Amino acid sequence: MKVLKVLKVLAFALFMSTSAFAENEPELTKKISSKVSVSLKGVTLDQLSKEKVTVTFNIVNGAINVLDIDGCDPTLNDRVIEEMEKISVKKYEESETYRIKLRFKQI
């Protein structure tokens, strides 16, 4: 049991050491933020706070490939994935794993 926990921690540490925050690539962050236009119809968000969605992705053949998404609302998560996978990003490193945090607020 302890060996399994240690392996999980090591795998996570390895993943973190090979991933890059998209925030470190301001052009990539700006491009994604400007192109992800998600309808919040049917999505329940807290009126007083912003919903944060963290997306882990890599780039394959100039397109975003979402590896993981962490957000509170499954409908919002699905819409973010759909929008991100439409974005063309040709000039970024394909061997990197990126993470970006997107925030949404109902008005």
36-67 pLDDT, tens per residue?
Answer: 888 888 887 766 667 889 999 999 999 999 99
Task: Name the residue with tokens 């394959």.
Answer: 60
Q: Are 50 and 107 within 8 A, CB to CB?
A: no
> What CATH number has the domain spanning 20-104?
3.30.1150
Which pLDDT value is given to residue 22? 58
51: tokens are 């919903």
25: tokens are 């690539």
Separation CA 82–CA 61 (nearest Å): 17
Which pLDDT value is given to residue 28? 87
The parts of the chain modelled with pLDDT lower than 50 are: 1-19
Percent of the chain with pLDDT over 90: 29
Domain ranges of the chain: 20-104
